[in-house]
Amino acid sequence: MHTENLAILKIYFRYGQSVKNQNFWKKLWNNNLGEYLLKMAKKSGIHQANIFTAKSGYLSSDLIQYNISEIPSSKNTACLELIDESNKLKSFLNENEEFLRATHLILFNNHKFNYHSTTK
């Protein structure tokens, strides 16, 4: 991977949000939007992908949701973070446009920061 083209893509959605327009069996066994997008990232060869579940937060103008149990509320905020080269992330966005319409916000950042240790 070339670090000069390194970018971060963040996709925000509800923790329990489901994938729309799937057949019966996929609805039954693979209906979580976050997990679906994570699998699509792996299939696309994205270098790094993580799903983060917020301790508390909100989407749009909703009420603040608090994650105070082992199983978060289906209204709790979640984020899929993808890290790879800019052009690969743009391809991911294009390939999954239909499913990304159900998300609340997508942030795409291709600025890179290098920190060098000065300790010996």
Q: Which pLDDT value is given to residue 65?
A: 85
Give the integer Cα–Cα distance in Å for 39 and 36. 5
- Who wins on pLDDT, 54 or 43? 43
- Who wins on pLDDT, 41 or 63? 41
Q: Which pLDDT value is given to residue 41?
A: 97
- Contact assessment for residue 34 and residue 80, using Cβ atoms and an 8 Å cutoff: yes
Confidence of residue 69 (pLDDT cuts 50, 70, 90): confident
* Whether pLDDT at 59 is above 80: yes
* Whether pLDDT at 1 is above 90: no
Average pLDDT, the chain: 81
